[in-house]
Amino acid sequence: MEIESFRINEYDQMLSLWERTGLSYDRADRDSRESIERQIFDDHVAILTLKDKGRIIGSIVASSDGRKGWINRLAVDPDYRGRRLAARLVEKAEEALSEMGVKVIAALVEENNFPSMAAFRHCGYEAWSETVYFRKVFK
């Protein structure tokens, strides 16, 4: 199993993974094919996949806002969990963010995504309950 950079021709495979894992995503906007394709060419974004015999079984998106690194879309196929694969993806994302000059990395995890929480804890991340997430969506 190898971790490599995502290619746009794998878009449907990656969305299939996100669906199998119950990961929420926004196919109409920020996770659309066009948006993901733009992100591939952004020097502040690394989209990585983990493959087994050519099939995507894991993904992670790492990005830098110039001040902090962010990890999103950590997903591992349920049939492959329990093998430290999420930790391998997080470690590769950390390497990519380090190369971008990032010193602090954060991740937003939905409150019912227990596998991701466990993976981040295993990798040395601490939950930060003092923050309330706000967002504004422009249409």
Give the chain's domain count.
Answer: 1
Instruction: Answer yes or no: is 89 within a domain.
Output: yes
Indicate whether 117 belongs to any domain: yes
For residue 133, tell me if it sits in a domain. Answer: no
Give domain status of residue 30, yes or no: yes
What is the arrangement of strands in the sheet containing 2-5, beginning at the earlier edge strand? Answer: 2-5, 45-52, 55-64, 69-76, 105-107
Residue 139 domain-assigned (yes or no): no
Q: Residue 59: its pLDDT value, please?
A: 97
CA atoms of 135 and 117, how far apart (whole Å) = 21
- Out of 20-34, 42-56, 124-138, pick the least confident: 124-138
Residue 20 lies in a domain: yes
pLDDT digits (tens, 9 = 90+) for 67-119: 999 999 999 999 999 999 999 999 999 999 999 999 999 998 888 889 999 99
In a domain, residue 95? The reply is yes
- Domain assignment of residue 127, yes or no: no
Residues in the chain: 139
Taking a C-beta distance cutoff of 8 angstroms, is the pair 60, 93 a contact?
Answer: yes
Write the DSSP assignment of 1-34 as a string of letters.
Answer: -EEEE--GGGHHHHHHHHHHHT----TTTTTSHH
Give the global pTM. 0.91
Residues with Cβ within 8 Å of residue 108, at least 6 apart in sequence: 70, 72, 133
Give the CATH number for residue 74. Answer: 3.40.630.30
| Range(s) of the domain holding residue 89 | 2-122
